Amino acid sequence: MREDFLQSGYGIRFEWGPAGARHLAREVSCLVVVDVLSFTTSVSVAVEAGSRVFPHPWRDDTATAFAEQRDARLAVGRRAVGPDTPWSLSPAALRRAPFAARLVLPSPNGSAISAAADDTTRVVAACLRNATTVGAWLAGQGYGSAERPVGVIAAGERWPDGSLRPALEDLLGAGAVVASLDIHGTGRTSLSPEAATVATAFTASPDVAADVLASASGRELIDGGFPEDVAIATEMDASTVVPVLVDGAFVAATGPLTY
- β-pairing, 150-154 vs 12-16, is parallel
- What is the tens place of the pLDDT at every residue in 49-106? 999 999 998 767 789 999 999 999 999 989 889 998 999 999 999 999 999 999 999 9
- The average confidence (pLDDT) of the chain is 93
Domain boundaries, given as residue ranges, for the chain: 10-252
| Model pTM score | 0.94
- What is the tens place of the pLDDT at every residue in 133-181? 999 999 999 999 989 999 999 999 999 998 999 999 999 999 999 999 9
Among 20-34, 185-199, 226-240, the range scoring the smallest mean pLDDT is 185-199
Q: What CATH class does 10-252 carry?
A: alpha beta
CB-CB neighbours of 196 under 10 Å: 18
- β-pairing, 243-246 vs 164-165, is unpaired
- Give the side-chain half-sphere CA count within 13 A for 155: 29
Cβ-proximal residues to 21 (8 Å cutoff; 6+ apart), any chain: 15, 31, 33, 113, 116, 117, 151, 153
Cα–Cα dist 57/249, whole Å: 13
Cα–Cα dist 73/247, whole Å: 17
Residue 257: its pLDDT value, please? 63
Residue 80: its pLDDT value, please? 87
Q: Are 196 and 1 in contact (CB under 8 A)?
A: no
